Structure 1
């Protein structure tokens, strides 16, 4: 019994360390990159208001708390692996299967997040489960994991649940999960960065309009009632929850950055 508890405790410490490194890779990496490229990123700021140092400290504190909870929920995946419910593929990588698993992880996460997010905005849940994240009206990349404990649990349950479901069909490539988690935190940090990197016409293009932009999620933080999607705009458009002025708001920022970067127009 004591040996089992020790094993799980050590596993939690390891999970905490890995999740913290991943969070810092996204949050600090994006913040540092934008600061180093500030002459280019400054005109791309979405809101006039700037986050304060107190905002960043609060976002960091909540995110560290979330990382600790992610580590605890990660023990479910660890236990499921030991029980054979999650099967890890240890053989050579099949490129087709690997790519398919990665795509499934991303698309299913977007669907899961959209409906979970809609649920957290219900009056009965919002104050206890999601209001802490929305204190960041002008979010920064440090807000990537700035969740209340209830939201932290619901966010992190996706991985063990989906991996158990996928393992019922075939073993899962650990590299696919690793890349998915890296993609998740990077998109999350960029989405909360407060700076629009995409170019004019991006949101209306048939090639890129299905991807969310930083403006897409920034509008959710500033106004709250729209734009619940994570990676893709599909669910918001199908369910009528896309901000009615999303394209207009996006072009206002993208156009401003274009003018600032054109020496002829300045």
Structure 2
């Protein structure tokens, strides 16, 4: 297989995709860093803007008490993690250029399956990593900072210990190095990852109360699920679903009854 694994097929229908891939192949690392920095800054701004719009729209459906005033220190950590996300993206680009990470082209059934596979695999692995971060001798050094924010806001998605952020980034790069996904699968997963992260830290529940009663659908994690974890550190460790918490007995008791509400012990 070519060192930069990409099949230039069906050029007429994929000229834009080909152009992007060609640009990423030929760009210098300094140019790539600038592109990825802009990309991550745009993602950060969208999370803050869209997250706050949703929070305002559903302000009558809080799942936690209002967050305290934003501090310069918290904003600084957000910006540090945006820079770290840029470096992680740059590391992925370097691995791709050297053939360690490989992507397939095209959008078809297999690329749609890629999205499902990545969501399931990453959900399971991040559940395990999250449980590991809660081990008593690791927690103070890795995960305690994130739990300082019991009342999350959209930006809390970026309120991470840098070590934890690097850990999640390294896990992601490992997965796509082992599992050769499609460009579409990778891109769709990353979009959903940001969407789930934003929803999980809204502090309000945009989903209807009936959501918790719909079979299968109610296995998808939302704002209520993660807000309860910020309040109760021993439960609700999942990211995209409640599957692993159900399987390993860590789903908070009364989760469905308290869906869309402020947990009883916080009022």
TM-score, length-normalised on structure 2?
Answer: 0.82
* Cα distance in structure 2, aligned partners of 1:216 and 1:60: 25
Give 1:12's aligned residue. 33
Q: Which runs of 5+ in 1 are unaligned?
A: 1-5, 254-266
* Cα distance in structure 2, aligned partners of 1:62 and 1:184: 20
- Is 1:66–2:81 an aligned residue pair? yes
- Is 1:86–2:101 an aligned residue pair? yes
1:160 Cα deviation from its structure 2 partner = 1.6
1:52 Cα deviation from its structure 2 partner = 2.5
Secondary structure at the aligned position of 1:124 is classed as coil
* Cα distance in structure 2, aligned partners of 1:218 and 1:236: 15
TM-superposition CA deviations, 1:48-70 (whole Å, max 9, x none)? x3112325x54433222112112
* Cα distance in structure 1, aligned partners of 2:123 and 2:220: 11
- The answer as to whether partners of 2:127 and 2:244 remain within 8 angstroms in 1 is yes
Residue 73 to residue 94, structure 1, CA distance change in 2 (3 Å): closer
Residue 119 of structure 1: which of 126, 129, 132 is its match?
Answer: 132
Give 1:131's aligned residue. 144
1:163 Cα deviation from its structure 2 partner = 1.4
Residue 90 of structure 2: which of 68, 72, 75 is its match?
Answer: 75
Give 2:61's aligned residue. 44
Q: Which runs of 5+ in 2 are unaligned?
A: 1-26, 263-267
Aligned residue pairs, count: 237
- Higher share in helix: 1
Give 1:263's aligned residue. none
- The answer as to whether partners of 2:236 and 2:245 remain within 8 angstroms in 1 is yes
- The answer as to whether partners of 1:27 and 1:144 remain within 8 angstroms in 2 is no
1:199 Cα deviation from its structure 2 partner = 2.0
Secondary structure at the aligned position of 1:250 is classed as coil
Residue 162 of structure 1: which of 166, 175, 180 is its match?
Answer: 175
Residue 160 to residue 96, structure 1, CA distance change in 2 (3 Å): same
Residue 219 to residue 33, structure 1, CA distance change in 2 (3 Å): closer
TM-superposition CA deviations, 1:141-177 (whole Å, max 9, x none)? 111121101101011113321111122xxxx322322
RMSD over equivalenced CA pairs, Å: 2.1
Residue 32 to residue 199, structure 1, CA distance change in 2 (3 Å): closer
* Cα distance in structure 1, aligned partners of 2:207 and 2:73: 28
Secondary structure at the aligned position of 1:209 is classed as helix
Secondary structure at the aligned position of 2:118 is classed as helix
